[in-house]
Amino acid sequence: MNPHSYVRNLGRRLTRSLFADRTPSKPSRRHRDRPTLVTFDQLEKRLAFAVGYATVNDWGSGLQGELTLTNDTKATLTDWQLSFNYNRTINDIWNAQIVSRTGSQYVIKGPAWDGTLAVGEVQGVGFTAGAGADAPSGFVLTATGATTTPTAPPTPPTPPITPPTTTPATPGVDLWKEQFFAPYVDMGQYPVPDLDGLARHYGVGLLTLGFMQATPTGKLGWAGYDVLTPGSTNEQALAIQGEINALRAAGGDVMVSLGGAAGQSLAQAYAQRGLGSQSLATAYGDMVDSLKLKKLDFDIEGAAVAETQTIKLQMDAIALVQKTRPELGVWLTLPVLPQGLTQDGLSVVKAALVAGVKVDGVNVMTMNYGPGAAPPQLKSMGEYAIDAANATFAQMTSLFASQGQSFGWNQLGVTPMLGVNDITTEMFTLADADRLEVFARAKGLGMLSMWSLNRDNPGAAGQLSNFHTGIPTMAKGGFSTTWGDYGSDPVIAGATPITPPVTPPVTPPVTTLPGISIGDVSVTEGNPQAAVASGYLHTSGNQILDANNNPVRIAGVNWFGFETTNFAPHGLWTRGYKEMMDQMKSLGFNTIRLPYSDQLFDAGSKPNSIDFFKNPDLQGLNGQQLMDKIVGYAGQIGMKIILDHHRSDAGNSANASGLWYTTAYPESTWIRNLSMLASRYAGNATVIGIDLHNEPHGPATWGDGSARDWRLAAERGGNAVLAANPNLLVIVEGIETASSGSTWWGGNLSNAGAAPVRLNMPGRLVYSAHDYPASVYPQSYFSDPTYPNNLPAVWDKNWGYLFRTGTAPVLLGEFGSNLATASDQAWYAKMMSYLKGDLDGNGTSDLAAGKQGISWTYWSWNPNSGDTGGILASDWKTVNTAKVDPLKAVQFQFPTVTATVGTIATTPLTFSVSLSAASPQPVTVKYTTGDGTALVGSDYKASSGTLTFAPGETQKTVTVLVNRDVTVEANETLSLKLSAPKNATLVKTTSTGTILNDDTAPVTPTPPTPAPTSGFAVRYTQTSAWNTGFVGDLKIKNTGTAAISGWTMEFDMKANIVNIWNAVIVSRVGTRYVIRNASWNGTIAAGAEISFGFQVDGIAGELPTNKKVNGRLVA
């Protein structure tokens, strides 16, 4: 029942560890969440009193352990004490006290607030201990004052409530009405929970039993164990069935929950094995018949909630089960936030409705939100639970209506986690239970539940446990007592009557309408400026904008092949290029990232592996001409192209050297080809940008000024691109290792914030990163216990911070997976949330109104990418919908751009209008602008209209266009007024918009300072010589009037330089050397001089010739 983290995996597995001798051990299926098991000979065999032990966490120098004590007698035990042998030092203990320690023998007793164990009660005792090698053993129990359980209820101090006379339920009678209370019981615990005992003790007749999961052999079993399948003759399985029978005989019933946070659901197992919905339906139906169930609960959380193909399989199967068992009720239990279900959760419900599932109800897990979604200082957990219920009801009302169905409050369930949640800052108290019950009764809520009945006990304050709430002051069964009379909960035969606490009457809350507020806003006025050429893009802050300054998003796909020895996009051997590009367009991609190599442009590089019957217009073309064809057709169908320098020589993956050049293709060739492409496609807005180089890694650095400084190289390459075509976006990837550590090749931009790329033209820089899942390489963070919830922080420190802080736009240039593992699926789901705008992982979007999220290009279109596969299956036709469907939520279609010429004359001023809570019905409000010091017409354009909030929506925006000018004036204001609300009230009716002046008074010109000049003088001296070599010295003098920052010298010399000082050799091609300054002598002041020397093997007396400094020929 853990919607937003995997924290409770440990708790779930802990309860299963107590099988000891009864159930064979098997490997854990998720992370490191299965504690060490105690073997049978370490347990004291006692029929009356069972003791279990499990190691919860072992860190080498110590551990955390838990003892489990179960009263299997027929008497209440008081003042119990337990002795045992243990060769470790216990440092801390909770839910018990240490009485004594003699050598290795410990004696412990019950906690100060309660040393009593009722019949069937389970008590967990936790502790931490130091180093050692063994587990506790030799358990001996003593209990004084044992009292026989009375056969009749004791006389309470206040007049007793006479329980109504009941008889056991008649088989086949449906006890599940429109409202009921059915708490969860964890059936993975050992000894088996005493269901009818719990029901009698707490007065609860309907129970939800968790969890049925996939066993290793692909069956349904309690806690995922083969020996615990329905119908098994294993002692444990028989005990579970006996408890269900006993509860029913006493007048109660059970609903079984399938799934849960830990383990694997049967649907996931069937999907991985490629089995169909009929097979899954048969397995579900057999279980329903075996356990004689009238209700099923499907708990879908964690990675499972985003597995769209698995969800479809599951819902199709459930619908088939209901066709043959029309009376079977189905509940869907899903993670939730105070703001409602996530998009993934909504997709689960929609899939059920589309498949034809008769959904009895949707149960939301109101727990473990995290401080970002539910700050504990603002509201109580009860209030957040009510917020979540209201928001979910609004969502379901809209969703069911879209499928031609209605949704009532009796179809909504709420399940909190009692007491301390897995996120321990969250605490659901008895006061919260009272508040939620008042709400439930007022609305007629269909189901109240809780995680879990096993935990409805007092315990050490703030402690998280499977056996108590972490609330020391509550009575046993306090939550069950509060909710036990809710709805149609049947009375259990022999139940001990519980005197309800006397509480003041609570007046049901008056239904209030949501409030509408509007915020103040300001914007810098701006000056009129020339419009960006039609179709091209530019940047501002972290947004990519079109020529009309509308935020846009690149949402594309990689189509590789030009960079390989095929010198053509792959797949042309089986399909036509136009046919494939039409398919890309139809799937919602708006851009193609097109990798190429420098070798593509060599005369001998001939495109090959092309079926010219399918691509007749490509016959006889070279690589560049073929690229022209791809670009041309992309323009015809409205797609954009990003050219990607993927490598230097033709081949696969990135350059082996990790750098942007090789000996055969030096930096000068790299820059020449970048400039050539920029110039070739100048004026063709289909090509919107160039990715300067793919995946710098290894020796590539960022910001250290060395010859391998990728930041400086990107500036040289980027400025060369802009010199040839100033309309292009310059896309700069990261490196492998920087201040944040090591990550994916090209994925580390952690130094870019402090050392940004400096281009000669503003508004053109886009940073780019690559990211992949564990199947590509097992980065250490994939094994973190908090995975995948740790991913947003990993992405933020490496590249996401550039977008989050508004520094620059970010393009996720490559990401992809075969999605064959649960880990990869979790990574993909979390990445989709991140791209949707959930930058901190709290389940809500962090994007400002009207803004677009991070741009992306998926790797890859091609199915022949070994690590990831592709959008297409191996037949190069069939679409992998498991990859494409999640991308639909982050796709974008470029709008039509009208500002092709002229000037940009206005700046948008955007107001945010918000609802205090989602409404189940549409909310409307009118708005109109009004003058302040700013006047309509001269300073801004009037705007008025009506805003409509659909059910579930809480945010809207109003944009007013501000006129740009060059007039020096004070800041000006205008107002936006709200009126005539419907289904809501006005909290704030008027907002002020401030137009910030950015013009300054003209300054009296001063005589211009002569422009600085630059020039160089070079002197060469041979300082020593011998028969086979010599030492030379070159001096460079700055003869200009301005300082020189960074110098590069080129010259021809046949001799081989074997040593150099005060400079760095960048490259040598033939006889041509390129030399760059060292890190300490890059600046030459006006009139100053620097020198560097070198040692040569060669002909004594040979001189450097054809010398250039910073591209300028010198004598």
**Which residues are catalytically annotated?**
695, 814
Residues ≥6 apart with Cβ < 8 Å to 861: 557, 558, 559, 560, 571, 580, 584, 592, 870, 871, 872
Residue 909 contacts residue 521 (beta carbons within 8 Å): yes
* H or E element, residue 830: helix 822-836
Task: Give the burial string for 130-167 (b: 16+ CB within 10 Å, else e).
Answer: eeeeebbbebebebeebeeeeeeeeeeeeeeeebeeee
How many CB atoms are located within 10 Å of the residue 631 CB?
A: 20
User: 534 to each of 526, 530, 539, 783, how far by Cα in Å?
Assistant: 21, 12, 15, 48
Peptide bond preceding 191 in cis form (omega within 30 of 0) = yes
Query: From edge to edge, which strands make up the β-sheet containing 515-518?
Result: 955-963, 906-915, 515-518, 985-986
DSSP 8-state secondary structure symbol assigned to residue 782: G
Q: How far is CA 836 from the centre of its chain?
A: 9
Q: Which of 808, 851, 749 is nearest to 541 (CA)?
A: 808
Q: Where are the beta strands (DSSP E) in 533-603?
A: 538-540, 543-545, 551-552, 555-558, 591-597
CA 389, CA 337: separation in Å to the nearest integer?
A: 9
Q: Which of 945, 981, 982 is nearest to 960 (CA)?
A: 945
Left (φ > 0), alpha (ψ -120 to 50) or beta: where does 741 sit?
left
The 3 state secondary structure assigned to 218-263 is CCEEECCCHHHCCCCCCHHHHHHHHHHHHHHHCCCEEEEEEECCCC
CA 977, CA 928: separation in Å to the nearest integer?
A: 5
In angstroms, the first-to-last Cα distance of the chain is: 79
Rounded to 10 deg, the angle between the 235-249 and 195-202 helix axes is 40
CA 55, CA 447: separation in Å to the nearest integer?
A: 36
**1067 HSE (CA, 13 A, CB side):** 16
Residue 996 contacts residue 971 (beta carbons within 8 Å): yes
Residue 896 contacts residue 489 (beta carbons within 8 Å): no
* H or E element, residue 769: strand 765-770
Q: Which of 768, 766, 871 is nearest to 816 (CA)?
A: 871
> What does residue 1112 show for φ and ψ, rounded to 5 degrees?
-105, 130
The 3 state secondary structure assigned to 627-692 is HHHHHHHHHHHCCEEEEEEEECCCCCCCCCCCCCCCCCCCHHHHHHHHHHHHHHCCCCCCEEEEEC
Dihedral angle, C-alpha 1094, 1098, 1099, 1102, nearest 10 °: -40
User: 506 to each of 168, 614, 786, how far by Cα in Å?
Assistant: 34, 77, 41
